[in-house]
Structure 1
Amino acid sequence: MDADTGGGRFARNVMHFARALRAAGLPVGPGRVLEALKALEKVGIESRQDLYWTLHAVFVNRRDQRELFDQAFHIFWRDPKLLERMMHLLLPTLEGEKEPVPQEEMNRRVAEALAPPKAPGEGEDESEEEPPTVELDAILTYSAREMLQEKDFEQMSAEELAAARREIGRLRLPIMRVPTRRFVPDPRGSRIDLRRTLRQSLRGGGASIDLARKEPRERHPPLVILCDISGSMSRYSRMLLLFMHAITNDRDRVHSFLFGTRLTNVTRYLRNRDIDLALQQIGTLVKDWAGGTRIGACLKEFNQVWSRRVLGQGAVVLLITDGLDRDAGLGLAAEMERLHKSCRRLIWLNPLLRFDAYAPISTGAKAMIRHVDDFRPAHNLSSLRDLTEVLSHPQARRAEGLSEWVAASQTGVRA
């Protein structure tokens, strides 16, 4: 770390550090850099700890940004203990002489932000002058897109997250239509419309009676989304918000709610076509982002305040949460039962299903699994595409295999 502040070299170091944070995904602009320099001038840099917490206070404003800042700080300012900590994590896989930690073991976004830019053609074999064929390029492109579909959101780099965001923006939800209690005229309908038949016969003097038929009117049911934004869901919340925005702008009668320690209705903001503006407004509105989770209390508020407004006409409910409840499932079973009885279908989306050995054994998960109609993952693009297929076709009230999950919640082992 260069402490020569007289020539402005330290200020340039702070500026380059801010650029690295911005490349890693933190919202750091020129104003933040000026604030950081003013704060350092007031606090001083007598120790590395003072420098760390001063920059942390200026550049970090959300809990989910702490890990990125911590890794970027120790790498950029050359913490001598970083390598020791990283090697300690890798001890089971290392033998013999210790080697430097590979860049892939660090946070991918931090590694990409701090990596030096490559010159054109660097790392390529100069002896091969022939360009790749079109067929090879197509195969590689398809392979990259296929890998992106299956990759966990948590493991994606900044570039892959941008590509995933574009893929989510292109998702379309075909309209699932269900019959209602109202009827519309249909010459091939299954029921006879007596009123219209009599009216038509009176117009002709009653000489002939032509039967008029009708059919139940079909309309797609409302869709209600309840998304967990607690700290344990922070790595998936943004991508799931993009998914909610895509669905909201693809069809009508979509109602979206976010919950952590309180319930927030964000339906109006997600209807904005500009996703960046929508997320900015939601970030200002929601006060419990990346905090704790009170699933039972939030569902109780939804059932008492919003249920009768948005769950009419056989609504389908998407409950997106990992089931980790700060209140240890207090009142959760009763609220889940009420929610289940108020909707056509209740689908629980859980990012923890990405683990093969996962079982719903936490107190909150045990209370929830008994009152859902389907249990699905929501951790990558492929799982979101599968969900759109499920919502596009009428399904049975209870999905196959759900009883196995209920049994796993008691034994702790999946069949």
Structure 2
Amino acid sequence: MSSTRSGDPRDGRHRHDVEEVLLGFTRALRAAGVAVTQDRAQTYLAAVAAVGLADQRATYVAGRATLCASPDDLARYDQVFHAWFDHRDGLPRSRPGAPPTPTVATLPLDDSGGGEGEEQQDDDVVRARASEAEVLRQRDVASLSANERQRLAAMMASLRPRPPLRRTMRHQRWHRGDVDAARTLRASLRHMGEPAAIQWRRRGTRPRKVVLLLDVSGSMSGYADALLRLAHRITVASPRGSVEVFTVGTRLTHLTRALRNRDAERALVAAGETVPDWSGGTRLGETLRVFLERWGRRGMARGAVVVVFSDGWERGDAALLGEQMKRLSRVAHRVVWVNPHRGKVGYEAVQQGVLAALPHCHDFVAGHSLATFEELIEVVARA
């Protein structure tokens, strides 16, 4: 005796779409290096069915709890989750007439239930998603739409800044290097004067200070949000006290305290309330002189890696800017100038500010996309 179930056929199609999205997400995780087994994928589908797909936060936590097996998987999971579900807008929404928490069926992940064409289609979806993320990494941040800026903000969480290191006068134990005569002698005395194993030492290391100077003038307004997010990421990922952030425009503003909040959105709101000269003029020479006289000579810039984010459009005296850059290069360990137009086709350094500053810079790099931000992080880490 057979029975039939009546209902809106759109509900069945919606559940099928949801299943395809979730199963595709598990395959994308597997392609990214996360060991997602069939059991874990089935547990994930059951967990999403239990918490309901309408709750995006619960869906995110359910995946971390069921699909990740080690701390190394968490970073990959976050990156793939934001790329696959498009941060906020990528999750499938309930259609009109569908139940608010659709039931997700637990389906086997082997190939016995589907043909070769279905598997090929899923692979194409994975490659398409990866391609979209890679294209966004290369895009000029000033040309992004609001939705693309949200996706870029999520992708910035994948950045892993590393502080540059400097040698200290203190020594530490090591498995090779210089002979530690004092420790070797003490080890011999503990053995009643008999020869003991030779002890070694090397000079210790500690993070070198990094100073970020962000141009917030009108010509840099299209990059201000992305540069602030980059500065926030570097600040929270580095040891406390090793990164200082300033904005330069018509005046100098110390921004480190506002960016110490680990929540990026709150940090940017605090920064917006702190900086009084958004999208104003550019007087780099005068603001650099204030920085050197008030902060630099007191030790903040001495021996530090100083990174200047600016397009070089100087309304003031370019000779003054060159003079202050020369002073800065004398006290800093390394000066890096980041120009958002540096990596664009056909760019030539013809601005008076750039021409005055370049002779006193150790590195002149691009800074207009997520890919160039990653390259900048490597330049700073190797300084």
TM-score computed with the length of structure 1 as normaliser? 0.60
Distance 1:298 1:305 in 2: 10
In structure 1, the residue corresponding to 2:237 is in which secondary structure?
Answer: coil
Distance 2:325 2:246 in 1: 16
Aligned-residue CA RMSD in angstroms? 2.3
Name 1:151's counterpart in structure 2.
139
In structure 1, the residue corresponding to 2:376 is in which secondary structure?
Answer: helix
Distance 2:211 2:127 in 1: 39
Q: In structure 2, do the counterparts of structure 1 residues 204 and 173 end up closer, same or farther at CA, with 3 Å as the change threshold? A: same
Task: Give the drift of 1:302.
Answer: 1.3
From 246, 251, 255, the equivalent of 1:257 is 246
Name 2:265's counterpart in structure 1.
276
Name 1:344's counterpart in structure 2.
333
Distance 1:176 1:286 in 2: 28
In structure 2, the residue corresponding to 1:370 is in which secondary structure?
Answer: helix
From 167, 170, 173, the equivalent of 2:155 is 167
Name 2:216's counterpart in structure 1.
229
Give the count of matched residue pairs. 265
Task: Give the drift of 1:198.
Answer: 4.0
Does the 8 Å CA contact 1:169/1:242 hold for their aligned counterparts? Answer: no
Counterpart residue type for residue 238 of structure 2: R
Does the 8 Å CA contact 1:260/1:292 hold for their aligned counterparts? Answer: yes
Task: Give the drift of 1:352.
Answer: 1.8
Task: Give the drift of 1:206.
Answer: 3.8
Distance 2:380 2:187 in 1: 41
Does the 8 Å CA contact 1:303/1:339 hold for their aligned counterparts? Answer: yes
Distance 2:306 2:320 in 1: 19
Output one character per residue of 1:244-291: Cα deviation in whole Å (capped at 9) or x when no partner. 111111112111111101111111111101222212222121111110
Does the 8 Å CA contact 2:209/2:243 hold for their aligned counterparts? Answer: yes
Q: In structure 2, do the counterparts of structure 1 residues 135 and 208 end up closer, same or farther at CA, with 3 Å as the change threshold? A: closer
Does the 8 Å CA contact 2:319/2:356 hold for their aligned counterparts? Answer: no
In structure 2, the residue corresponding to 1:353 is in which secondary structure?
Answer: coil
Q: Which runs of 5+ in 2 are unaligned?
A: 1-94, 97-116
Name 1:43's counterpart in structure 2.
none
In structure 2, the residue corresponding to 1:324 is in which secondary structure?
Answer: coil
Output one character per residue of 1:56-79: Cα deviation in whole Å (capped at 9) or x when no partner. xxxxxxxxxxxxxxxxxxxxxxxx
TM-score computed with the length of structure 2 as normaliser? 0.64
Does the 8 Å CA contact 1:170/1:246 hold for their aligned counterparts? Answer: no
Distance 2:142 2:301 in 1: 32
Name 1:81's counterpart in structure 2.
none
In structure 2, the residue corresponding to 1:306 is in which secondary structure?
Answer: helix
Does the 8 Å CA contact 2:235/2:259 hold for their aligned counterparts? Answer: yes
Q: In structure 2, do the counterparts of structure 1 residues 149 and 197 end up closer, same or farther at CA, with 3 Å as the change threshold? A: same
Aligned-pair identity in percent equals: 34
Counterpart residue type for residue 212 of structure 2: I
Does the 8 Å CA contact 2:337/2:363 hold for their aligned counterparts? Answer: yes
Counterpart residue type for residue 255 of structure 1: E
* Structure 2 residue 299 is matched with structure 1 residue 315: no
Matches within 5 A, 1:24-63: none
Matches within 5 A, 1:360-399: 360-392=349-381, 394=382
Task: Give the drift of 1:201.
Answer: 4.2
From 207, 212, 219, the equivalent of 2:206 is 219
Does the 8 Å CA contact 1:328/1:363 hold for their aligned counterparts? Answer: no
Name 1:289's counterpart in structure 2.
278
Does the 8 Å CA contact 2:285/2:320 hold for their aligned counterparts? Answer: yes
